[in-house]
């Protein structure tokens, strides 16, 4: 299973028809997961099981370090 978290940049298996973009940013996590297309800004919500089937890989992880 692929590990992912909020604000990670991910790649989906299929392209979004806007600009043929496969890159998305996770903007909400819970029982459902909401992602935002980095090509056009459209947001799509999936239930967790559908999201995990369509997820290809995590491209960039959100930084978890705090600058105190």
Question: 50 near 63, Cβ under 8 Å?
Answer: no
Give the pLDDT band of residue 64 (cuts 50, 70, 90).
Answer: low
Q: Bigger pLDDT: 56 or 17?
A: 56
What is this structure's pTM?
Answer: 0.82
Asked whether residue 1 is assigned to any structural domain, the reply reads: no
pLDDT, tens digit, 9 for 90 and up, residues 25-36: 999 999 899 999
Asked whether residue 66 is assigned to any structural domain, the reply reads: no
**Mean pLDDT throughout 37-60?**
92
Question: 46 near 35, Cβ under 8 Å?
Answer: yes
Domain hosting 50: range is 9-60
Work out how many domains the chain is built from and give that number: 1
Asked whether residue 27 is assigned to any structural domain, the reply reads: yes
pLDDT at residue 67 tops 70? no
- Helix and strand totals (H; E) in the chain: 1, 5
Asked whether residue 68 is assigned to any structural domain, the reply reads: no
Asked whether residue 4 is assigned to any structural domain, the reply reads: no
Asked whether residue 3 is assigned to any structural domain, the reply reads: no
For residue 48, give the 3-state DSSP assignment.
Answer: helix
């Amino acid at each position: 299973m692929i590990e992912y978290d909020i604000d990670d940049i991910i790649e989906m298996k299929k392209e979004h028809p806007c600009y043929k973009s496969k890159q998305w940013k996770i903007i909400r996590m819970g029982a459902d997961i909401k992602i935002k297309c980095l090509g056009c800004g459209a947001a799509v919500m999936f239930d967790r099981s559908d999201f995990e089937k369509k997820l290809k890989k995590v491209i960039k992880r959100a930084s978890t370090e705090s600058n105190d």
